[in-house]
Amino acid sequence: MARRLFLVCAWLLTGCTATLAADAPADSITLVYRDLSRRLIAEGLSEYRAYALLAELAREAPLRLSGSPGAERAVSLTAAMMKRLGLERVRVESVLVPRWERGPVEEAVVLGDGGWQELSLSVCALGGSVGTDAQGVTGPVIEVKSLQEVKSLGEKARGAVVFYNRPMDPTLLNTFAGYGGAVDQRSGGAIEAARAGAAGVLVRSVTLARDDAPHTGSMSYTDSVRKIPALAISTLDADSLSQILKSEREVRVRMRLSARTLPDVLSGNVLGEIVGIERPDEIVVVGGHLDAWDKGHGAHDNGAGCMQAIEALDLLKRVGFSPKRTIRAVMFMNEENGLRGGRAYASAPTRASERHVAAIEADRGGFAPRGLSVEADSATVLRWARWSPLFADLGAGRIFRGGSGVDISPLVSLGVPGIGLVVDDHRYFDYHHSENDTIDAVHPRELEMGAIVISLLAAILADE
């Protein structure tokens, strides 16, 4: 791109501004907050502090699955971080959380004639899976594309390793829709296979990436059927295994896992605030979940959302904004495998003396913001959609009715309007729940843009 483009750019920018100005209704909210928006942008983009916070979290508490020592370090760290930044009333609200441990062994090997190991597959235990004994479980592999297909396997399934291999549909524009269309294999696959008499399950990683990294995530059991072990397999090895199955009469796999579930342990949600100057008991929550799967460092999922919440409050402090209502950052514990933190927060006795006016969550990765998904009655959605021109400046002008966030869903159930930060999600599932989800996968500027959107939104909700 040559020098001449910059002349062109000047015109482009003029065009942009003109378009926005033309779009903007003569709305007092828009006019009042445009100045705040400018200050937040100037402050946020000058340093990208959300990224520095995320780097600190990833360094000090990279592994922080609920109940683990890392999760407790993350609780202490974020409480200390909030205090250091001058947030008020910083505290930890206790939550009893499940504790599942992966342990050192997670393997699936294709066995050759005579039971010799022929090929080691790239796998990891699904979150919540039972373990096996040292011998593991061995069975012939049966590839299926759906839970429905397992039901029709009949006697064949008995003692088998059921291999769920339906890929995410890449042709859906919204990658969350692609994820939603494939993840039933992971969440419900072990139950269905166990009902059919299977010995274990292998589940194709729910990702659009074709690489060697297995992607973990929650799976469930039900009391009425046997608990069988469950492994995620990388997409490349899922494709390889599928190829082998096409050419071999019978392919036997041995699965071994050291995973286990331990007794619940005490953990907590971390809270910190900018106390409102007029209505301190009216609350705008800005949240993310502090726990993360124990692959990668939970940088996008959801260190990003947590650090954006803290940075959003700090940004408001740095530009000297004093909200009328209280803006509260909440690091929810245990979103990934229990939602205990979200439930505990919504039902805590101290909530009785508070009125929540809105809850915001960013849990779709730390990418460039595109819009706001509002989970509320139509009148509220329409009212808030009027802010679209203001957020369009930040690339997030699409305000529509939709889901908000998992951690805040218990609040939403109580009638609190929820808002999810919608981001550019093309890359998200490349990283999600895998060793790829490290700080390198997060772009400082994209992350900060999300924090700026959240801070502006929180400010408006706290004052209107």
Residue ranges in 173-232 that form contacts with a copy of itself under rule CB under 8 A: 173-174, 176-177, 179-180, 183, 187, 208, 217-218, 220
Residue 380: other Cβ atoms inside 10 A: 15
Among 165, 234, 326, 337, binds a copy of itself (CB under 8 A): 337
Least distance from a copy of itself to the Cβ atom of residue 8, Å:
3
Contact call for residue 256 and a copy of itself (CB under 8 A) = no
Query: Six-digit token pair at 430?
Result: 């490349």
Give dist(CA 344, CA 266) in Å, integer: 12
Helices (H), 233-295: 235-247
Least distance from a copy of itself to the Cβ atom of residue 399, Å:
8
Contact call for residue 413 and a copy of itself (CB under 8 A) = no
Q: Are 106 and 125 in contact, with CB atoms under 8 Å apart?
A: yes
Contact call for residue 164 and a copy of itself (CB under 8 A) = no
Choose between 19 and 120: whose C-beta lies nearer to a copy of itself: 19
Least distance from a copy of itself to the Cβ atom of residue 438, Å:
15
Contact call for residue 458 and a copy of itself (CB under 8 A) = no
Among the listed residues 143, 273, 282, 335, the single catalytic one is: 335
- The binding track of 352-391 with respect to a copy of itself, each residue x by CB under 8 A or -, is -----------xx---x-x--x-x----------------
**Secondary structure element (H or E) that encloses residue 169, with its range:** none
Least distance from a copy of itself to the Cβ atom of residue 42, Å:
5
Residue 445: other Cβ atoms inside 10 A: 12
Contact call for residue 5 and a copy of itself (CB under 8 A) = yes
Among 165, 235, 302, 308, binds a copy of itself (CB under 8 A): 302
Among 19, 117, 120, 243, binds a copy of itself (CB under 8 A): 19
Contact call for residue 414 and a copy of itself (CB under 8 A) = no
Give dist(CA 384, CA 324) in Å, integer: 18
Q: Which residues, numbered 59-118, are part of the site for a copy of itself (CB under 8 A)?
A: none
Least distance from a copy of itself to the Cβ atom of residue 315, Å:
13
Least distance from a copy of itself to the Cβ atom of residue 9, Å:
4
Burial 125-143 (b: 16+ CB within 10 A, else e): bbbbbbbbeeebbbbbbbb
Choose between 17 and 350: whose C-beta lies nearer to a copy of itself: 17
Choose between 31 and 177: whose C-beta lies nearer to a copy of itself: 177
Length of the chain: 464
Q: How many residues bind a copy of itself (CB under 8 A)?
A: 73
Contact call for residue 18 and a copy of itself (CB under 8 A) = yes
Choose between 252 and 370: whose C-beta lies nearer to a copy of itself: 370
Contact call for residue 25 and a copy of itself (CB under 8 A) = no
Contact call for residue 42 and a copy of itself (CB under 8 A) = yes
Backbone angles phi, psi at 299, to 5 degrees: -70, -55
Give dist(CA 108, CA 125) in Å, integer: 10
**Cis amide linkage into residue 269, ω under 30° from 0:** no
From 108-116, 253-261, 318-326, 334-342, give the range in contact with a copy of itself by CB under 8 A.
334-342
Among 31, 32, 45, 277, binds a copy of itself (CB under 8 A): 45
Least distance from a copy of itself to the Cβ atom of residue 336, Å:
5
Rg of the chain in Å (alpha carbons): 24
Largest CA distance in the chain: 79
Choose between 64 and 256: whose C-beta lies nearer to a copy of itself: 64
Residue 343: other Cβ atoms inside 10 A: 18
Choose between 134 and 173: whose C-beta lies nearer to a copy of itself: 173
Query: Six-digit token pair at 15?
Result: 């065009």
Contact call for residue 395 and a copy of itself (CB under 8 A) = yes
Among 106, 107, 301, 463, binds a copy of itself (CB under 8 A): 301
Query: Exposed, middle or buried by CB within 10 Å (0-12, 13-18, 19+), for 284?
Result: buried
Query: Which residues, in sequence order, are bridge partners of residue 232?
Result: 124, 203
Query: Six-digit token pair at 267?
Result: 């953990």
Contact call for residue 314 and a copy of itself (CB under 8 A) = no
| End-to-end alpha carbon distance in the chain | 45
**Secondary structure element (H or E) that encloses residue 320, with its range:** none
Contact call for residue 410 and a copy of itself (CB under 8 A) = no
- Catalytic residue check, 335: yes
Least distance from a copy of itself to the Cβ atom of residue 178, Å:
9
The long-range contacts involving 89-93, CB below 8 angstroms and separated by at least 24 positions, are 89/271, 89/272, 89/273, 89/275, 90/270, 90/271, 90/272, 90/273, 91/270, 91/271, 91/272, 92/268, 92/269, 92/270, 92/271, 93/268, 93/269, 93/271, 93/344, 93/345, 93/348, 93/350
Least distance from a copy of itself to the Cβ atom of residue 458, Å:
20
Among 296, 405, 417, 450, binds a copy of itself (CB under 8 A): 405
Please give the positions annotated as active site. Answer: 335
